[in-house]
Structure 1
Amino acid sequence: MPFSIVISGVTGRVGRALAELARADPDVRLAGALASESSAKQPLDADRRVRINDPPAPPVDAVIDFSTSSGCARAIRCALDSGAALVVGTTGLADRVESHLRDAAASIPMLVAANTSLGACVLIDLASRATRALGDAYDVSLIEAHRAGKRDAPSGTALALARAVRDSGGSIDDGAVLSLRAGDTVGEHTVRFDATGETLQITHRATDRRLFAAGALRAAKWLAGRPPGRYAMSDVLGL
């Protein structure tokens, strides 16, 4: 039986990539699609069976959200109503939505990730390992770059990297996180460890937004059917 998903934020960059993946994969069924009200009722597939913001066609295995705070709140309700797993790749969420996520984790399995790229997940793990190995003799800094117009700065991934460094016993000042917004940069994150005589630099560079869609779909397949609770991309990769 195909793996059935609802895409929240289907008219966005990653949402469109997810829809393309679903259409190309015979083992994935697009059960529904959510977007802003201005996109309501637009047909999403050639045979017009799926229309944006129509109720999803059961069963639903997972809801995947790449939208906004309000869109994420709607995705949470959809997942709860469907008894489905929830993958959230939206960043810059409002406090009230974060609270909704904490409450919903008691009822459904969910995975919230600042970045669903598998490589970015490994980058965060490597930053943690490097921090523990090098100790406090190294100055840690972060540089992140995204397309012009990206609203949140620093990016959610940069915040996750800074948190990983601090959780591993390191320190990083707010002034040591540099955000660049230019052109059509998909996403680039660099962690630097500087000491007298040497620099260790670890970089992840995304060149195609389809990698976020592919990572989110892999996470959704891993998550569906697991006990309620909050999971991370590191769980998907066994890190």
Structure 2
Amino acid sequence: MIRVCLAGVTGWVGQPLAAAIEAAEDVELVAAVARRARGEVLGRLTITGSVAEALAIPSDVFVDYTSANAVKDNVLAAVRAGRHVVVGSSGLTDEDVREIDGVARSARVGVLAVGNFSITAALLQRFAVEAARHLSSWEIIDSAYAGKMDAPSGTARELAWRLSEVRPPEVEVPVEQTVGDVTARGASVNQSRIHSIRLPGYTIGLEIRFGRQDERLTLSYDGGPGATPYVAGTLLAIRRVSEFIGVVRGMDRLL
């Protein structure tokens, strides 16, 4: 039985994930964190208000579905407490991931920092990496709901990092030579240009556009209003994270 501590248990993914863990035969929810729901009862558990309180309860895997502001400190606390970690929150930078990787390796625990636990989002990343081996120019469009505070999204950052393992994209006009407002060319993340859109009516989406002379290729992912795709992927990560030491990036690494 895998004992799970879930931070962000009352959130959009946290609530259905907690229910899925309770329904699973090989996974058990032993601790739950939600700052605003501290003291409330969830099944057989009393929700704690801090990660420190929750980590005092013996567990095997810590799952974070909190916020971009809290995720790094939460993950480091869990790793230092000897827990394997599944990161469902976005907001970690490459520098954050490197720091977490060093601490996790010292603690001999695994951390799955995926960015998006949807299988279809993972497939987009896999297809994009293959396309980058043949098409040398691309840009990324990251879309999300209006209230998402971090940009680019974890999904977009993950894609840019994966593409950097293949090659940097070619550009005809260097961005710094842009005539006008250079910020209109988007942010540079691992040498890829990312354009972040935050609007009502969106949930989470990712698009990558490849281009070369006389042709183009577009790959896109759009998440719907429900959390079901992320729950299944997170359960898979919970079951597999103990197989690793240090940080593993990319949901497709689990497929």
TM over 0.5: yes
Conserved 8 A contact 2:71-2:89: no
SS, match of residue 169 in structure 2 = coil
Query: 2:130 & 2:240 partners in 1: Cα distance?
Result: 25
Letter in 2 for 1:216: T
The match for 1:52 is 47
Distance 1:57 1:23, change over 3 A: farther
Q: Which residue of 2 is the match for residue 212 of structure 1?
A: 230
CA drift of 1:55 comes to 4.1
Decide which moves more: 124-133 or 89-98.
89-98
Measured against aligned partners, the alpha-carbon deviations of 1:124-144 in whole angstroms (never above 9, x if no partner) come to: 12111111122x3xx312122
Within 5 Å, give how 1:1-239 maps onto structure 2. Answer: 2-36=1-35, 38-45=36-43, 49-53=44-48, 55=54, 60-68=59-67, 69-78=69-78, 80-81=80-81, 83-93=82-92, 99-100=99-100, 102-107=102-107, 108-134=109-135, 136=136, 139-171=137-169, 175=186, 176-207=193-224, 208-224=226-242, 226-232=243-249, 233-237=251-255
Which whole-Å deviations, capped at 9, do the CAs of 1:152-206 have from their partners, x for residues lacking one?
1221211222232333113276534222222242211111112232211111122
Q: Which amino acid aligns with 1:112?
A: A
Normalised by the length of structure 1, the TM-score is 0.82
Structure-2 separation of matches of 1:71 and 1:190: 25
Q: What stretches of structure 2 of length at least 5 have no aligned partner?
A: 176-184, 187-192
2:7 and 2:34 in contact (8 A); partners too = yes
Is the 2:71–2:91 contact (alpha carbons within 8 Å) kept by the matching residues of 1? no
Contact 2:79 2:104 in 1 (8 A): no
* Structure 1: gaps (5+ residues): none
Code of the residue aligned with 1:74 in structure 2: it is N
Distance 1:177 1:235, change over 3 A: closer
- Secondary structure of the 2:218 match is strand
Structure 2 Cα separation of the partners of residues 8 and 184 of structure 1: 27
Instruction: Return closer, same or farther for 1:205/1:97 CA change in 2, 3 Å cut-off.
Output: closer
Amino acid at match of 1:223: V
Post-superposition shift, 1:17? 2.1
* 3-state SS of 2:115 partner: coil
- Pick closer, same or farther for the CA change 1:71–1:129 going to 2, 3 Å: closer
Shift of 1:80: 4.1
Distance 1:71 1:30 in 2: 20
CA contact (8 A) 2:76 2:103 kept: no
Contact 2:3 2:61 (8 Å CA) reproduced:
yes
Distance in structure 2 (CA, Å) of the matches to 1:218 and 1:31: 18
Find the residue that maps to 1:144 and give its secondary structure: strand
Match of 2:182 in 1: none
Q: CA RMSD in A?
A: 2.6
- SS of corresponding position for 1:105: helix
Aligned sequence identity (%):
29
Structure 1 residues 26 and 189, CA gap change in structure 2 (3 angstroms): same
SS at match of 1:148: coil
Q: CA 1:65/1:127 → structure 2, altered by over 3 Å: closer, same or farther?
A: same
Q: Distance in 1 between matches of 2:203 and 2:147?
A: 12
